[in-house]
């Protein structure tokens, strides 16, 4: 099918969701996708922050093919070797105290279950989250999302959600108390424009949680599985300071096969009994094969290292470029803050066949490339940004 026919058919038969780019993706490999018209695009948005191992990594594809030949699915009503391997492997890379996993299907579902487990572990209901944080679109997660219109869209909201200011411990102290079940946060607020907080903030959060018996949840749906150049944000240089009680995961975890997870410590797992949690599809064999192969591919191809060097290259390459105010983020989660709105740069990059993302901050362009993005690929982006910025300065001048 040609692009115009694909677009017309999708627009006619699919409920509107996202504002789509004007391309139809047909195949992908590494950091590249090819369209229905045979054009090649550099994908620095990584399939919506999902394709950490790159598009259709051969090791992941083979593992999925092999698993599909054996058995596509059976639920947690039976044991499964590939599920056992996925659970063991995921726990082996997690911060030390997080020694059990609950598998589900998406980021929002991971957060719903994280909050539920925190309520069960504490016998309390209140959840503290942060302005600018995004946690998903199902009832409890959207009620925890104090960003833009989301809570409005999610009405009626689940009761018991309150917000604090990201990075401001005093604002947390003003709302967190002995009725609070959990404090949940994106350790780097991605959609808000890749906003970061200080190590001291994380340390004080942990202390406050310990003092008041509150569960600390890191929503690592975006920052997890190598995105920041470490397996988890919670396993970065902050690890000595802060271990959360629960980490929620999705996006990169299955390289594109839908899968989510909550990693939990013993304080949490000890209160969960059979029938408290469940999901038909969570832990299915196909998804588990994707998880194992994703973790193997990241390890085999040394992608934690390449994610870290991509950040370094980008910071050096864009240093001093006029019109760029700051670079935020870590590894392959990068926000480029422009002095003006980034929408024209985003559009021009797409014209130059480079896919990037925007954010809820109109000045911040977001990059979430595959962790295996190469030096040459990042060079293409840096050169394009310089060209676009120079051309627009010339017009403005």
Give the footprint of ligand PLP on this chain (CB under 6 A).
106-108, 111, 134-136, 186, 190-191, 219, 221-222, 250
Residues whose CB falls within 8 Å of the CB of residue 352, separated by 6 or more in sequence, listed in order: 384, 387, 388
Whole-angstrom distance, CA of residue 343 vs CA of residue 352: 14
Q: How many CB atoms within 10 Å of residue 125?
A: 16
Structure tokens at 22: 């004007």
Shortest Å, Cβ 97 to ligand PLP: 22
Q: Which is nearer to ligand PLP, 157 or 309 (CB)?
A: 157
Question: Would you say 176 and 214 are in contact if contact means Cβ atoms under 8 Å apart?
Answer: yes
Rg for the chain, CA atoms, rounded: 21
CB of 115 to ligand PLP, least distance (A): 12
**Cα–Cα distance, 196 to 326 (Å, whole number):** 12
DSSP alpha helix (H) spans, 301-374 = 303-318, 343-351
Decide whether 324 or 331 has the Cβ nearer to ligand PLP.
Answer: 331
Q: Name residue, tokens 């990584």.
A: 46
Is there a contact between 215 and 122 (Cβ–Cβ < 8 Å)?
yes
Shortest spacing between CB 221 and ligand PLP, in angstroms: 4
User: Closer to ligand PLP at the Cβ: 330 or 388?
Assistant: 330
Q: For residues 385 and 338, what is the distance between their CA atoms, to the nearest angstrom?
A: 11
Q: How far is the CB of 131 from ligand PLP (least distance, A)?
A: 14
Contacts of 260 (CB under 8 A, 6+ apart): 103, 104, 105, 106, 107, 109, 110, 221, 248, 249, 250, 253, 282
Q: Which is nearer to ligand PLP, 250 or 293 (CB)?
A: 250
The rounded distance, in Å, linking the Cα atoms of 282 and 166 is: 31
Which is nearer to ligand PLP, 278 or 344 (by Cβ)?
A: 278
Residue 219 CB, nearest approach to ligand PLP (Å): 5
- The nearer residue to ligand PLP, 147 or 384, going by C-beta atoms, is 147
Q: How far is the CB of 188 from ligand PLP (least distance, A)?
A: 9
Q: Could you give the C-alpha distances from 59 to 50, 140, 198, 220, 379, in angstroms and in order?
A: 16, 36, 37, 24, 26
In sequence order, the β-bridge partners of residue 260 are 104
Residues 250, 259: Cα–Cα separation, whole Å: 6
Taking the least distance from each CB to ligand PLP, the nearer of 130 and 381 is 130
What's the sign of the alpha-carbon dihedral 150, 156, 161, 163?
positive
CB 282 within 8 A of CB 266: no
* Residue nearest ligand PLP by beta-carbon distance: 107
Considering the complex, what minimum distance in angstroms separates the CB of residue 190 from ligand PLP? Answer: 6
């Amino acid at each position: 099918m040609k692009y115009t026919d694909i677009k017309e058919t999708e627009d006619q038969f699919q409920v509107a969701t996202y504002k789509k780019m004007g391309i139809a993706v047909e195949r992908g490999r590494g950091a590249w996708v090819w369209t229905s018209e045979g054009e090649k695009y550099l994908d620095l948005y990584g399939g919506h922050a999902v394709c950490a191992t790159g598009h259709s990594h051969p090791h992941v594809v083979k593992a999925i093919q092999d698993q599909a030949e054996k058995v596509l699915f059976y639920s947690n009503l039976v044991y499964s070797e590939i599920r056992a391997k996925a659970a063991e492997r995921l726990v082996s890379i997690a911060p030390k105290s997080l020694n059990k996993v609950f598998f589900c299907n998406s980021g929002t579902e991971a957060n719903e279950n994280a909050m539920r487990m925190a309520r069960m572990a504490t016998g309390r209901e209140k959840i503290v989250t942060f302005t600018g944080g995004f946690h998903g679109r199902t009832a409890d997660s959207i009620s925890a999302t104090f960003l833009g219109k989301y809570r409005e869209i999610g009405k009626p909201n689940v009761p018991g959600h309150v917000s604090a200011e990201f990075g401001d411990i005093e604002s947390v102290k003003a709302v967190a108390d002995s009725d609070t079940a959990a404090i949940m946060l994106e350790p780097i607020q991605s959609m808000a424009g890749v906003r970061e907080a200080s190590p001291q903030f994380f340390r004080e959060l942990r202390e406050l949680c310990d003092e008041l018996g509150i569960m600390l949840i890191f929503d690592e749906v975006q920052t997890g599985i190598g995105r920041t150049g470490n397996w988890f944000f919670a396993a970065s240089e902050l690890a000595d300071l802060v271990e959360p009680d629960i980490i929620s995961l999705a996006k990169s975890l299955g390289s594109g096969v839908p899968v989510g997870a909550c990693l939990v410590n013993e304080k949490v797992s000890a209160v969960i009994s059979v029938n408290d949690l469940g999901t038909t599809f969570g832990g299915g064999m196909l998804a588990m094969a994707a998880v194992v192969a994703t973790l193997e591919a990241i390890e085999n191809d040394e992608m934690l290292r390449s994610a870290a060097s991509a950040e370094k290259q980008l910071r050096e390459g864009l240093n001093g470029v006029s019109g760029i105010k700051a670079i935020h983020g870590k590894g392959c989660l990068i926000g480029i803050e422009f002095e003006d709105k980034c929408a024209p740069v985003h559009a021009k990059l797409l014209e130059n066949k480079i896919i990037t993302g925007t954010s809820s901050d109109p000045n911040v362009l977001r990059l979430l490339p595959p962790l295996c993005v190469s030096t040459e690929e990042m060079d293409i982006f840096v050169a394009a940004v310089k060209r676009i910025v120079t051309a627009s300065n010339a017009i403005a001048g």
